[in-house]
Amino acid sequence: MSAPPRVLTVAGSDSGGGAGIQADLKTMLALGVHGMSVLTAVTAQNSLGVQGAWELPVEAVRAQYRSVVDDIGVQAVKTGMLASAELVETVADLLAGTDAPTVVDPVGVSKHGDPLLAASALDSVRTKLLPAATVVTPNLDEVAQLTGARVASEPDMRQAAAAVLEFGPRWVVIKGGHLAAAGSEEAVDLLTDGTEEHWLRAPRHDNRHTHGTGCTLASAIASYLARGHTVPEAVEAAKTYVTGALASGFALGAGIGPVDHGWAWRGEGAR
């Protein structure tokens, strides 16, 4: 029996299981690929926020990456929380020597607003990590953090995408889920390589339990790329998957619950 496509996530751990490495591996399992992981940081995290974060040594991150890639191989890589400039530059160097598409989720803060990337690492993200990306998936806050561009309307998303593309990724997905369009019933994302444009629209669900959305989307894109889809096909399929996960997000703890990575496995009323 042949092995399924292999996807590697390079990210931090979420002890509450809603985001980070845990969300990545759940997404990969749901989408039929073999998920592997390089842990960059450990967080004490729950539905209320991040109570603590500890990054791993560069040597440990490099050793995990080489151990997996040199023996098992990968068809796609996804990056998430990288914490420091040193880790960003280390991971960027590793990606540059890996012949596989890379999806970069430029994680800056948690769902609750807790910082997950040192301010001193932003320049390394711009100059080292983004040029290594096949697809980069910033939300509107991350766009502002990386480029200074503020997005207040759909037309602004085009200018934001151009600003991100100047740093060298092949494609960018500007995630418009936080766009406060008056009366909007859609969540709109823009995928572009500077030439092609794909506007991706999905129903906006009235559900506060959205923890792990960004990790899930990036991991889904990587999973579909590993399965041989083009970038536009992978992003469109990932948007469909994450929309279903958002619609099924559930309460957990006293704060914001996670999206449901197994939503497609369950029938009506299965939970």
**Residues identified as active-site:** 175, 210, 212-215
- Say how far residue 269 (Cα) sits from the centre of its chain: 29
Residue indicated by tokens 């859609």: 186
How far is residue 95's CA from residue 142's CA, in Å, rounded to a whole number? Answer: 21
> Which residues sit opposite 124 in a β-bridge?
none
What is the Cα Rg of the chain in Å? 17
Contact 102, 65 (CB under 8 A): no
The CB density around residue 225, as the number of other CB atoms within 10 Å, is: 28
How far is residue 28's CA from residue 183's CA, in Å, rounded to a whole number? Answer: 34
Quick one: tokens of 178?
């936080």
| DSSP-H helix ranges across 175-230 | 213-226
How far is residue 9's CA from residue 39's CA, in Å, rounded to a whole number? Answer: 8
Amino acid letter, residue 189: D
Burial tier of 196 (Cβ tally within 10 Å: 0-12, 13-18, 19+): exposed
How far is residue 218's CA from residue 216's CA, in Å, rounded to a whole number? Answer: 6
Task: Work out whether strand 197-203 and strand 49-55 pair parallel, antiparallel, or are unpaired.
Answer: unpaired
